[in-house]
A = this chain, B = another copy of it.
Amino acid sequence: MNQIVDVFKIPCGGPADLRAAKALLQSGALRAQDIVAVMGKTEGNGCVNDFTRELASRAWCDLLAPLLGTTPEAVHARVALVMSGGTEGVLSPHFTVFARRASTTDAPRTDKRLAIGIAFTREFKPEELGRRAQVNATAEAVTQAMRDAGIDDAGDVHFVQIKCPLLTAQKIDEALQRGAPPVTHDTYESMGASRGASALGVAVALGEIDTAQVQDEDIRSDWSLYSSVASTSAGIELDHNVIIVMGMSAQADSDYLIAHGVMRDAIDVAGVRRCLREDFGIDPDTQSEALRQRVVNVLAKAEAAPDGKVRGARHTMLNDSDINSTRHARAAVGAALASVLGDTALYVSGGAEHQGPAGGGPFALILRA
């Protein structure tokens, strides 16, 4: 049977506020057993000590466990919960829920529609993070998730969201005592290493780069290696990678579409404007009502340009010891996208190492068909 994907964007009053989700479930519009993924933006710092991600995940597990007849812990194995911290600037905390159910037919369509698949890697040792071990395990899992989504052609993949682990002071210490030095001793830096290796895993799986091209020392160093559809997000609350593949499939009867593009830098909204016009026929300047009714969300990555410049002018994000650069970058990219879409509940996630070109990042637009 074909799949049907439904997408719900839900506001919240705090990381654990699931009143709107509860209402949806009670109304019957959303069925717990159909939920395959939840992508949340929570109001933490998005860095090492961001516990809003854990709080939100916990609230979702507590909500879904009785409905699925399982324990809160077991929910993690059924639903890809990806909580991305950081709603700097105008960004508004919210959850995007992806539900998948069987269609009434298995006839391939002439047009393609939104399809989704998920997969998980094994747990990583601290010293594997940010290195080839993580790249390769991720690549395998992406291939698995494509199969789960019913997508054969890498060209039909428009977004691969990954949640990956980070190093804490404890993990670093434990590894060092075993004589297995991790890739960095800095917890904040480890987030970038894990995100970068995971993104390269996507690039390998989709044939954007060859696995032989990636050596340990290229990770976070050779920015010419990247994926145009990877979005990776590190969190303290897990030890393995969670993968969500989204794309278009003739075996999907969803009422939703997805398209993607690349921002060359943090203020490059030309691609988004073009995507709206060319892929979906919406003029963002004059058709604000169409924007409001059709656009569900944009999924995008943000980072401070590693060369210290945007359009040739110096930025200060990497020299700011009071605010981490990922927070600056989310605030900037979030506002730039919001100024086009007229909506601030956007999924903008920080740290785009090997996700799109240096200083830029991939974006995907999900719209009603």
Contacts and interface: CB of A to CB of B under 8 A. Distances in A.
Interface of A: 11, 13-16, 43-45, 47-52, 54-55, 58-59, 62, 72, 87-94, 168-170, 173, 185-189, 220, 236, 266-270, 273, 285, 306-308, 310-311, 313-324, 327-329, 331-336, 338-340, 342-345
Given A48-B319, A54-B55, A321-B48, A266 B90 contact: yes
Contacts of A338: 267, 310, 332, 336
Contact of A343 (B307, B311, B333): B311
A51 B49 contact: no
Nearest to A336: B339
Query: Which one of A44, A306, A307, A314 has the highest number of Cβ atoms from chain B below 10 Å of its Cβ?
Result: A314
Given A186-B189, A334-B332, A315 B51 contact: no
Contact of A51 (B47, B51, B168): B51
B331 A45 contact: no
A332 to B, nearest CB: 3
Query: Which one of A51, A185, A188, A310 has the highest number of Cβ atoms from chain B below 10 Å of its Cβ?
Result: A51
Contacts of A236: 14
B343 A313 contact: yes
Nearest to A169: B308
A308 to B, nearest CB: 4
B220 A185 contact: yes
Contacts of A320: 43, 48-49
